[in-house]
Amino acid sequence: MIRPGTIRAWLVIWIAAVATAPVAGGISDEKTDGSFSSKLPIETHGFYEIRGGYRLQNDKYEKDTSILENRLQLDLSSYQDWGDLKFKGDFIGDLVEEEGDFDLREANVFARPADYMDVKVGRQILTWGTGDLIFINDLFPKDWESFFIGRDSEYLKAPSDAAKISLFGDWANLDIAFTPQFDPDRFITGRRISYWNSNLGRTAGQDAIVHTDKPNDWFGDSEVAARIYKNIDNYELALYGYQGYWKSPGGQNAAMTQATFPDLNVYGASLRGAVVKGIGNLEAGYYESVDDRSGKDPLVNNSEMRYLAGYTQEIARDFTVGLQYYVEYMLDFGAYKSNLPSGPARDRDRHVTTLRLTKLLMNQNLRCSLFTYYCPSDEDVYMRPNVNYNVSDNLAVEAGGNIFFGDYPNTFFGQFRDNTNVYLGLRYSF
């Protein structure tokens, strides 16, 4: 997941920063004599969670237990006059993989050096764009494995090691996120989730873990993402640019032994605002697959256009419905088809509709939600039901599922049909 060396380096940086901060250190609960705003330099929070899940059917290539883990998250923040320090990490006892792990979620420094500038440097979670669980111009890393095995949905966003500089002006605002060393998605490797392996022409899992050749040089293999945005009469308009790599494998090497992350540029735009009684959003992106501009190389993804339209409305009290329509349109489809070595060709377009239903009950302590992806072109479905109940301010229980249907073993969601799982979780926050 992350190299221990990196963790140590981050810890040292963070501790050094806190120690040299002009206020005395000391871990303390933020609650002091009835006032919630801490006078002490470090706020400590976090949670302890246990989570277990099970596959509802046999999967030849994976364990029956889809998830079984203890997780302790420590979240330390320190607010100084010159800026803020943040450290958030998860200690995980993973009983499926039978190992302990540490996942550093955040370790960063934030400062506001000028009226017109914000800077955040270090490990951080980055998000932009208008989609709901659909990402076009958000090319920050995702953790699809966590998403599919039933971890909390916050884990879909994997951290970036980046510097984000934000500039604010009257005319528009600009964000630039520079990631000196490529941060790929935590994609499906076969370790926890079985998948369609096109080289083998069958479903595979732990018997065929995806090996990758990842761009790995500091500064040589960097990513830059930028966003210019402006609020015009409360319609939020944004333009995006990205230069980097396909975030999940987008090709293979010539020997077809390793998955690769070919060069990718993305240019896009989005618009979001009030429409009728709800919120509407439009987003589009041009994915320029730089290593295969002609579309003839069967080992590299073709360029694509991606479009999204969405609408959300609270249709009854505490009941919200969100709809999205998303299209991936492959460019140079003719070149793709005529150069396809063997096996079934994909369709030129991939259409996905999503529906989110959320209902709050019992003074909003009970949240029932269902998010469904339905892809009419691939004829597959992915459903994410979830029920979350706050027993108290500190204790929450949760049950949910990841349900895949599909007629074909090689479609985007259909390939995961043997991974259909249900899970239970219990979280104590402090």
Partner 1 sequence: MNELEISRRGIKWMMALLVAAISTFTNGAAQSQEATARPTATEIMEKSNRAFYYQGNDMKVDVTMDLLTADRKKQSRVLTMLRRNESLGGNQKYFLYFHEPADVRRITFMVWKYPEKEDDRWIYVPAVDLVRRIAASDARSSFVGSDFTYEDISGRDVGLDTHQLLTEDKVGDRDCYVVESVPKESIGYVKRISWVDKTTFLPLKEEYYDLQKELVRMFSADKIEEVTIGEGDERKTVPTVTRRTMKNIKTGHRTEVTFTSVSYNIGLGDNIFTERYLRRPPKEAMR
Distance CA 214, CA 141 (A): 14
Judge whether 107 and 14 are in contact, CB under 8 Å: yes
Among the listed ranges 33-41, 182-190, 293-301, 329-337, the one in contact with partner 1 (CB under 8 A) is 33-41
By CB neighbour count within 10 A (0-12 exposed, 13-18 middle, 19+ buried), where does 325 fall? middle
* Minimum CB distance to partner 1 smaller for 299 or for 309: 309
- Calculate the CA 285 to chain-centre distance: 18
Distance CA 146, CA 157 (A): 9
Distance CA 359, CA 371 (A): 12
Distance CA 95, CA 51 (A): 10
CB of 352 to partner 1, least distance (A): 20
Please state whether 358 falls in left (phi above 0), alpha (psi between -120 and 50) or beta. beta
* Minimum CB distance to partner 1 smaller for 55 or for 367: 367
Given candidates 312, 410, 415, 420, which one binds partner 1 under the rule CB under 8 A?
312
CB of 181 to partner 1, least distance (A): 20
- The site map against partner 1 for 214-243 (x = CB under 8 A) is ---------------x-x--x-x-------
* Minimum CB distance to partner 1 smaller for 181 or for 358: 358
* Minimum CB distance to partner 1 smaller for 30 or for 297: 30
The letter for the amino acid at 257 is: T
Residues ≥6 apart with Cβ < 8 Å to 74: 44, 46, 87, 88, 89, 91
- Calculate the CA 304 to chain-centre distance: 20
**H helices present in 113-154, as ranges:** 144-149
Given candidates 94, 118, 291, 297, which one binds partner 1 under the rule CB under 8 A?
118
Among the listed ranges 217-225, 271-279, 334-342, 376-384, the one in contact with partner 1 (CB under 8 A) is 271-279
- The site map against partner 1 for 282-311 (x = CB under 8 A) is ------------------------------
CB of 42 to partner 1, least distance (A): 14
Among the listed ranges 154-162, 178-186, 188-196, 397-405, the one in contact with partner 1 (CB under 8 A) is 154-162
CB of 68 to partner 1, least distance (A): 23
Does residue 127 belong to the site contacting partner 1 (CB under 8 A)? Answer: yes
Q: What is the dihedral of CA 45, 50, 56, 58, to 10 degrees?
A: 110
Given candidates 52, 93, 241, 273, which one binds partner 1 under the rule CB under 8 A?
273
Does residue 374 belong to the site contacting partner 1 (CB under 8 A)? Answer: no
* Minimum CB distance to partner 1 smaller for 79 or for 307: 79
Does residue 430 belong to the site contacting partner 1 (CB under 8 A)? Answer: yes
- Calculate the CA 105 to chain-centre distance: 12
Rg (CA), the chain: 22
Given candidates 82, 168, 218, 408, which one binds partner 1 under the rule CB under 8 A?
168
Given candidates 318, 347, 349, 407, which one binds partner 1 under the rule CB under 8 A?
318
Given candidates 23, 226, 279, 305, which one binds partner 1 under the rule CB under 8 A?
279
Tokens of 130: 């208008």
Tokens of 169: 């002006």
Does residue 74 belong to the site contacting partner 1 (CB under 8 A)? Answer: no
* Minimum CB distance to partner 1 smaller for 151 or for 350: 151
First to last CA, the chain: 26
Does residue 390 belong to the site contacting partner 1 (CB under 8 A)? Answer: yes
Does residue 365 belong to the site contacting partner 1 (CB under 8 A)? Answer: yes
Does residue 29 belong to the site contacting partner 1 (CB under 8 A)? Answer: no
Q: What are phi and psi of 332, to 5 degrees?
A: 55, 45
| 37-56 binders of partner 1 (CB under 8 A) | 37-38, 45, 47
Q: DSSP assignment, residue 34? A: T
* Minimum CB distance to partner 1 smaller for 121 or for 126: 126
Residues 89-93: contacts with CB under 8 Å, at least 24 apart: 89/7, 93/69
Q: Can you tell me which residue has the tokens 């299209």?
A: 327
* Minimum CB distance to partner 1 smaller for 117 or for 256: 117
Tokens of 154: 């916050």
* Minimum CB distance to partner 1 smaller for 24 or for 316: 316
Closest Cα to residue 281, out of 330, 354, 224?
354
Tokens of 76: 């330390």
The letter for the amino acid at 72 is: L
Interaction site with partner 1 (CB under 8 A): 30, 35-38, 45, 47, 79, 110, 112, 118, 124-128, 153-154, 156-157, 166, 168, 173, 229, 231, 234, 236, 272-274, 277-279, 281, 312-314, 316-318, 320, 322, 360, 363-365, 390, 392-394, 396, 429-430
